[in-house]
């Protein structure tokens, strides 16, 4: 290192966010104190952190409200008398939400065959989804095809084959944060809709704490967080440019992050890993960064307090796009 002996330097040279701190030693030899490397979550670590998020948030309950209040009416216009309705789930995860929507589709269109295709890159999620289907006795009229691919890999495969299967219903639930090119991803999957088809995009609302965190306190998040910071207005801007018709439904949701503020709490640690996309954030981040992020999370535009608990706003936007 080329620093002078009297210098004190913090350097964050790469996406690994490895901090090297050079301090002045008591003798004249150089002394290095290295903070352990910060790194992004692996697929397996993400699954574990995400489960902690789901266990302490009302995300799925919020989606259930949408399914109950709006989805039957949205689905009633699908298929237009066809004997088979084609469904595509993009980034479907472990399948719980997919199967809830499939059952609503069955109720709205009794006796109709449902051809359900799934694009999901995480092998653990695919295995869990298949197990869920195996345990379900009420899916006789539904066929399942899994593509263990990212959305961009699926797009590439479709374009290479030159055959463009059309779908009556496509859903992209909480997954656009991880795609490389959001506008072109939306454009491609919209092009996969059949006549009278609908595309459902579920994304964080502009009114969520995430939106405030990403816009106002971005400096509190480490560079190991590799996702896109996008909320509903970013999606509707894309849809406006595409010139397509859409409707937005807003639903409130909360995430109890109280444990994030309890030193040494394992659940709180996993929550912070999910929030930052970083493995062992509390153990590897510089103390000043940890402090700044915790302070940001407590701001009124991010969280509220209820019965002594800290509830982070996780409000969702359900965007229904016409073909």
Which residues are documented as binding site?
59, 314
Are 214 and 276 spatial neighbours (Cβ–Cβ below 8 Å)? Answer: no
The C-alpha atoms of residue 71 and residue 67 are separated, in whole angstroms, by: 5
**Binding residue numbers for substrate:** 59, 314
The C-alpha atoms of residue 216 and residue 291 are separated, in whole angstroms, by: 16
262 DSSP 8-state letter: S
Are 197 and 166 spatial neighbours (Cβ–Cβ below 8 Å)? Answer: yes
Residue with tokens 């449902």: 114
Are 192 and 186 spatial neighbours (Cβ–Cβ below 8 Å)? Answer: no
The C-alpha atoms of residue 202 and residue 249 are separated, in whole angstroms, by: 10
Residue 102 neighbours by CB distance under 10 Å: 24
- Locate 240 and state its tokens: 């406006």
Q: Which residues contact 221 (CB under 8 A, 6 or more apart)?
A: 213, 214, 276, 293
Chain-centre distance for alpha carbon 216:
20
Report how far apart, in Å, the C-alpha atoms of 55 and of each of 186, 203, 267, 308 are: 29, 19, 10, 19
Residue 289 neighbours by CB distance under 10 Å: 20
Report how far apart, in Å, the C-alpha atoms of 212 and of each of 36, 93, 235, 282, 297 are: 29, 26, 17, 21, 9
- Residue 175 backbone dihedrals phi, psi, to 5 degrees: -125, -10
């Amino acid at each position: 290192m080329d620093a002078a002996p009297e210098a004190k330097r913090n350097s964050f040279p790469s996406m690994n966010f490895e901090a090297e701190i050079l301090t002045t030693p008591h003798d004249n030899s150089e002394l290095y104190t290295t903070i352990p490397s910060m790194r992004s979550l692996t697929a397996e670590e993400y699954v574990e952190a995400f489960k902690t998020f789901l266990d302490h948030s009302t995300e799925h309950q919020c989606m259930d409200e949408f399914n109950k209040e709006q989805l039957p009416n949205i689905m009633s216009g699908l298929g237009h008398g066809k004997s088979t309705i084609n469904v595509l789930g993009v980034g479907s995860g472990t399948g719980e939400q997919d199967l809830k929507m499939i059952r609503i589709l069955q109720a709205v269109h009794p006796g109709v065959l449902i051809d359900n295709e799934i694009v999901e890159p995480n092998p653990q999620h695919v295995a869990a989804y298949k197990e869920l289907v195996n345990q379900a006795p009420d899916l006789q009229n539904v066929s399942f095809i899994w593509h263990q691919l990212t959305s961009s890999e699926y797009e590439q495969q479709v374009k290479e084959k030159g055959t463009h299967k059309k779908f009556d219903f496509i859903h992209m639930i909480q997954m656009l944060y991880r795609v490389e090119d959001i506008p072109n991803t939306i454009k491609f999957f919209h092009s996969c809709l059949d006549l009278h088809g609908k595309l459902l995009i579920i994304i964080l609302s502009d009114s969520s704490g995430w939106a405030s965190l990403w816009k106002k306190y971005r400096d509190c998040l480490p560079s190991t967080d590799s996702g896109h910071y996008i909320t509903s207005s970013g999606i509707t801007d894309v849809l406006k440019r595409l010139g397509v018709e859409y409707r937005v439904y807003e639903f409130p949701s909360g995430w109890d992050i109280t444990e994030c503020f309890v030193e040494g709490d394992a659940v709180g640690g996993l929550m912070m890993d999910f929030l930052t996309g970083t493995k062992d954030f509390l153990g590897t981040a510089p103390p000043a960064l940890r402090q700044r992020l915790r302070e940001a999370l407590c701001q009124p535009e991010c969280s509220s307090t209820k019965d002594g608990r800290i509830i982070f706003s996780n409000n969702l936007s359900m965007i229904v796009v016409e073909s």
